[in-house]
Amino acid sequence: MLRHAAFTNIWLATALVVPQLLLVFIFFYWPTGEALYWAFTLEQPFGGSNQWVGWLNFSTVFKDPKYWNSVQVSIIFAVATTAIIISVSLFLALLVDRRLPGHQIYSFAYFIPYAMAAPAAGLAFRFIFSPNAGFVAAINDWFPNIWNPATDGLDAMILVVLCQAWKSIGYSFVFFLAALQSIPRPLTEAGAMDGAGALRRMWDIQVPLVMPTLFFLLIINLTDSFVDSFGIIDITTHGGPARATELMVYKIYFDGFKAQDYSLAAAESIVLMLLVIVLTFIQFRFVERRVHYA
């Protein structure tokens, strides 16, 4: 019989709920409302009166080829990082789930990068993959100019994708490992008794049973790739070279804080929010139907 908790003191319930509601209102709904208002007005860079302009800011955004470049770059970045994060974290979780010697140490080591701040991770990758120092410099000595993120857009994209993926793999790894450990051991043992090898058991038994977790992580990582990549881009490439890594979130920052066009940046932020909502809806509408919940 299920028991439902109930508060007999309404003031206690209110005291527990109000702080969370205030945080959500102050850090989400209020900024969203302000951005929505600014997107339909012309805001002065240093404060003062504003002017209602309707859809002018959105029209300017959609007519800007630089903005469409940032959309294309963001989609490439999101797809690449999500694919790497999902595949690598699932592979690592499958290995750790086999409880090989030292698996607890590996579990701890895989999660450490997620605890690192994005700017710190970006700074580390900027020095590690510097074309003028370390092992990359040695490679450039053997093959001149084979790697230089400062001048080659493809190299710069590879750098930020690897950095974002490296930082986020630990988060997905924890969820995949928890999902794998929730699978009843008799299922995999029965597969082993039937003669299925380790790879066969992973593909036919374990992977299908963690599909709900995979779907959840797919949504989370795609969303993070669009909205939580500013720190890495700002430290490593500044959106360059030649806007090759200028993601939508970085263009919002550049237009708002560098060019001081708050209205345009607000309109771009609204478009980014709508894009994330649409992508999430598409995943729930078309991808979730392939997910089977046990």
pLDDT at 275: 92
Distant-in-sequence, close-in-space partners of 275: CB < 8 Å, separation ≥ 6: 71, 226, 248
CB 153 within 8 A of CB 244: yes
Residue 113 is part of which domain span?
Answer: 60-290
The structure's pTM equals 0.88
We report the CATH number of the domain holding residue 205 as 1.10.3720.10
* Residue 266 placed within a domain: yes
- pLDDT for 75 equals 95
Number of domains present in the structure of the chain: 1
Q: Is residue 119 part of a domain?
A: yes
**Rounded Cα–Cα distance for residues 12 and 224 (Å):** 35
Residues of the chain below pLDDT 50: 1
Those residues whose C-beta lies under 8 Å from the C-beta of residue 129, and which sit 6 or more positions away, are 136, 147, 149, 159
Q: Judge contact between 231 and 117, C-beta under 8 A.
A: yes
Evaluate whether 57 touches 36 at the Cβ level (below 8 Å): no
- Residue 41 is classified by DSSP as E
pLDDT recorded at residue 7: 65
E-strand stretches of the chain = 41-42, 51-52
Most distant CA pair in the chain, distance: 76
Q: Mind listing the pLDDT tens digit for each residue in 225-268?
A: 998 899 999 999 999 899 999 999 999 999 998 888 999 999 99
Q: Is residue 34 part of a domain?
A: no
Domain for residue 195, yes or no? yes
**Does a structural domain hold residue 108?**
yes
